[in-house]
Amino acid sequence: MSTNIYVGNLSFQTDSDALKAIFSEYGEVISAQVIADRDTGRSRGFGFVEMASGEEAEKAIAETNGKNVDGRQLNVNIARERSR
């Protein structure tokens, strides 16, 4: 079963392809998306990665949380459903 990961504190230059590349070394990435501001199209500094399995997601989180990417320390954890 796939698992979604939240990735925060991304550099504004990081795009979805770069995000996928970062996480693909830890397992199969189903999707990777950097969230953009709908008015400006500029990155909002966070994104989501869907890993093929929970085990791969846990490994990716352990290896990337706090990792320095483009001068920013990533904040990585399991994505939570938004409360309304």
Interval 50-79 mean pLDDT: 97
The secondary structure of the chain in percent helix, strand, coil, rounded to multiples of 5, reads: 25, 35, 40
Q: Please indicate, yes or no, if residue 84 is contained in any of the structural domains.
A: no
pLDDT mean over 66-74: 95
Q: pLDDT (tens digit, 9 = 90+) per residue, 30-61?
A: 999 999 999 999 999 999 999 999 999 999 99
CATH of the domain at 35: 3.30.70.330
Does 68 reside within a domain? Answer: yes
pLDDT surpasses 90 at 14: yes
Average per-residue pLDDT for the chain? 95
Residue 26 lies in a domain: yes
Q: At 82, is the pLDDT very low, low, confident or very high (cuts 50, 70, 90)?
A: confident
